[in-house]
Chain A
Amino acid sequence: MDLVQWFAAPLQYEFMVKAILVSALVGLVCSALSCYMTLKGWALMGDAVSHAVLPGVVIAYVLNIPLAIGAFVFGVGSVLAIGFIKAKTRVKEDAVIGLVFTGFFALGIVLISKVKSTVDLGHILFGNVLGISDSDITQTVIISIITLVTLAILRKDLILFCFDSTHARSIGMNITFLYYVLLSLLSLTAVAGLQTVGIILVVAMLVTPGATAYLLSDRFDQMMLIAIASGVFSSVMGTYISYHIDGSTGGCIVVLQTLLFVIAMIFAPKHGLLVQPKAAESP
């Protein structure tokens, strides 16, 4: 099969066209946010929130309200719970994060097992972009617009918040507000990512592109572009590959993202493994 065929063949199916477009959009949005996640050191937080939204998603399914609302409530709720337990007990932060998000996640699994008829556990856990419904597409588009517009408007404030929140405070910026903005966007994009790669792998969408770009650039804007390029590329190619090998779409996307990271790790012009000996030699 030649290359043109390889790319063109899936496009005769409407579901594939939709899947590719949705994956690309989700890749774009998650990658944009991933820059802030990696720079703020929020990878673990991203993992926690993306898992903790599960019960919210299930409840929203049952109540027939937008999943994003349920996810939002539980995403923010989990972080408040983490903050509360950390402040009130002597348990260390990583342990608190670990126990809170697994607790929420477990609750979600219990809920799913009780409402099996309407919710497919597999689709939530592993994504189902090939069978995405129109209402889910609408929701993804709305989430994407909200996220991208917010990131565009607050770009510099969020950079400063991630870089030096002490200075942000000292010039009177409301860092509590920025904290919750970032947290809310995280919860929302977790829902968007859930459609394509599923809840288990969504954290990869929210961390890996940013980490890859971080190795390749010393300029924020450049980093953002690289993250988006790698995220969109992995999403689109991953969807194609999953079609051709008839394998898990989410799995393919995340494997590709990880490959890109490994390539960057080895070959990055400034921070790659290959250049490090040279850097040590130079005066």
Chain B
Amino acid sequence: MNAIRIDIENVTVAYHGKVALHSASLQLQAGTICGLVGMNGAGKSTLFKAIMGFVQPAGGRILINGLPIRRVQKSSLVAYVPQSEEVDWNFPVSVHDVVMMGRYGYMNLLRIPRLSDQRAVREALERVEMWQMRDRQIGELSGGQKKRTFFARALAQQGKVLLLDEPFAGVDIKTEKMMIHLLMELRQTGHTILISTHDLASITTFCDQVVLINRTILAYGNTSEVFTAENLSRTFGGSVGDFSLATSQLAPGNQEEQEWT
């Protein structure tokens, strides 16, 4: 697998003239997981949308292995799981159909799945433990199962880059651990992963790098150096309260999750 590198250079994004993200610069490297942390409205989702090319930056540029996103999208290189799926949950598609949509980029005009597509879908569904529910209509799933389905679609897409916007929101601790485990496996096979989360406790367990963001990038670098109490308090405007880094080992007592989701 060839390594994918994403360069975000001085990106500024504004909605109707209001700046949501100011002059953000960072590099994402292959074989690393980068955590994106910031409070509500800090611009995390905006950064994802900018990388995907869904919002046009007012300044700066984003390059994927030196190319703009439009040039690489067709190759299914970048799998993106938005924060909340803006879909009609009554839509007549099954879990299996949804995950198969991750494979469309590999199929011909008529989108007829080949054996490799079937296999990728099955594998993805098994990895998130949703294979048993493959024939369910998607509206018949719980919130966490929905999240897993769309996560499975990203896995089935087999992109070398994964952009995950709050994949843990509303999923139970067991599923979160499973997802983290999968992400760590993907890291080993050289994937480039950017993930936003409000679960500060788990960050140190799997993120190599952390980006702290509040309308601009406050700090960015290796987790051990950047993920400090001082930086976090800057990120959250001093409202991290009694959150202690000592407990951040994804221990059973992970009660903060509720608060942040």
Contacts and interface: CB of A to CB of B under 8 A. Distances in A.
Nearest to A160: B101
Contacts of A167: 80, 101-102, 153
Contacts of A223: 92
Interface in B101-125: 101-102, 104-105, 109-111
Given A156-B104, A172-B105, A163 B110 contact: no
Nearest to B136: A218
B104 A171 contact: yes
Interface residues of B, number: 30
With most chain B CB atoms within 10 A of its CB, the pick from A39, A156, A169, A222 is A156
Interface in A214-247: 214, 217-220, 222-223
Interface stretch (B19-27, B83-91, B194-202): B83-91
Interface size class of A (residues with CB under 8 A): 20 to 34
B248 interface: no
A257 to B, nearest CB: 20
B181 to A, nearest CB: 24
Nearest to A171: B105
B3 interface: no
A172 B54 contact: no
A140 B90 CA distance: 33
A173 B91 contact: no
A170 B80 contact: yes
B91 A157 contact: no
A164 B54 contact: no
With most chain A CB atoms within 10 A of its CB, the pick from B92, B110, B137 is B92
Contacts of B87: 163-164
B167 to A, nearest CB: 15
B109 A153 contact: yes
Nearest to A154: B109
Interface string B46-57: 000000101000
Dominant secondary structure at the A interface: helix
A60 interface: no
Contacts of A113: none
Contacts of A164: 85-87, 101
B105 A39 contact: no
Contacts of A171: 73-74, 76, 102, 104-105, 157
A159 interface: yes
Contacts of B101: 160, 163-164, 167
Contacts of B73: 169-172
B223 interface: no
B258 interface: no
Interface string B9-49: 00000000000000000000000000000000000000000
A89 B101 CA distance: 36
Contacts of B104: 156-157, 160, 171, 173
B76 A218 contact: no
A172 B106 CA distance: 11
Nearest to A39: B91
B92 A219 contact: yes
B75 interface: yes
Nearest to B106: A171
Nearest to B79: A170
B196 to A, nearest CB: 16
A66 to B, nearest CB: 28
A160 B90 CA distance: 14
Nearest to A159: B93
Given A164-B85, A166-B86, A172 B111 contact: no
A166 B98 CA distance: 13
B93 A153 contact: no
A166 to B, nearest CB: 6
26 contacts: A39-B92, A41-B88, A153-B109, A155-B111, A156-B104, A156-B111, A163-B91, A164-B101, A167-B102, A169-B54, A170-B78, A170-B80, A171-B73, A171-B76, A171-B102, A171-B104, A171-B157, A172-B74, A173-B104, A214-B90, A214-B92, A217-B92, A218-B92, A218-B94, A219-B92, A219-B94
Given A163-B87, A171-B74, A219-B92, 6 more contacts: A39-B91, A156-B110, A171-B102, A171-B104, A172-B105, A217-B92
